[in-house]
Structure 1
């Protein structure tokens, strides 16, 4: 491999290292209990008392790192559902950098932005409804 061929892969490698560092911080912090060091609270929840679409994502990530899918789904089911799409996008970006030309992913589909906007809006409303079974989604 030549240096010119490997140079485009430096940024993807840096994202892997950053992801590993983030995983180490989340594992050390243990956001599911008071045992670890505190992470900053969600500003939307702090200001409004409502769960934003991303609330619980750190606890979801922590649960996934421990292989606990059911807890991860409880903390943030939409974020769990988004993980394959994120990995697809990241993989397409890496392959595109390796090949030297962009790789099309789900983001290039015509209705993707609208579908995700509707899903995020619906998740925001559903997880804040104050009656069963939706009240169990509140974290």
Structure 2
């Protein structure tokens, strides 16, 4: 039972954060800090629009969520799947529970994130800006 405390703790923290974003609209000024990268450079980081995307999802508006940050929307099911695998491995007491992600997938994720970051900041990728 002790092995599942980490996945359960993360689930509780993520659930609390999601509840906060659901209840406090990130589109309203003054509730959340501005993105420091965007403030300093005027460019969008891969996470810009992510809070608004999560808020839109919690309000039942997936189209708006995709408009704010499609990368975050697409990655949410992937993260949930990986969390579920980690929780299952922990529950089963497997020694490899902490190694649920193949390093190749991590590199692929980082590569996609960098491509998304670049494309959303060039003229032909304006549709990806929040």
Q: TM-score range by the shorter chain?
A: 0.7 to 0.9
1:68 to 47, 61, 64: 61
Match status 1:136 vs 2:124: no
Q: Report the counterpart of residue 114 of structure 2 in structure 1.
A: 121
Q: Supply the RMSD in Å over aligned alpha carbons.
A: 1.9
Cα drift, residue 13 of structure 1 = 2.3
Structure 1 pair 126–15 and aligned structure 2 pair: CA distance change class (3 A): same
Trace 1:104-115 onto structure 2 (pairs within 5 A): 105=100, 107-108=101-102, 111-115=104-108
The number of aligned residues is 128
Contact 1:29 1:39 in 2 (8 A): no
1:43 aligns with 2:39: no
Cα contact 2:22–2:54 (8 A) shared by 1 = no
Query: Per-residue deviation at 1:118?
Result: 2.1
User: In the TM superposition, what is the alpha-carbon distance from 1:112 to its structure 2 partner?
Assistant: 1.7
Whole-angstrom CA distance in 2 between matches of 1:15 and 1:113: 19
Q: Distance in 2 between matches of 1:127 and 1:84?
A: 22
Matched residue, 1:98: 91
Residues 20, 117 of structure 1: alpha-carbon distance in 2 compared, 3 angstrom cutoff: closer
Tell me which stretches of 4 or more aligned residues in structure 1 moved more than 6 Å: none
Q: Which has the higher contact order (CA 8 A, sep 6+)?
A: 2
> Are 2:25 and 2:55, in contact at CA under 8 Å, matched by a contact in 1?
yes
Gaps of 5+ in 1: 1-5
Q: What residue is the counterpart of 1:7 in the other structure?
A: 2
Give the TM-score taking structure 2 as reference length.
0.86
Q: For the Cα contact (< 8 Å) 2:48–2:69, is it kept in 1?
A: yes
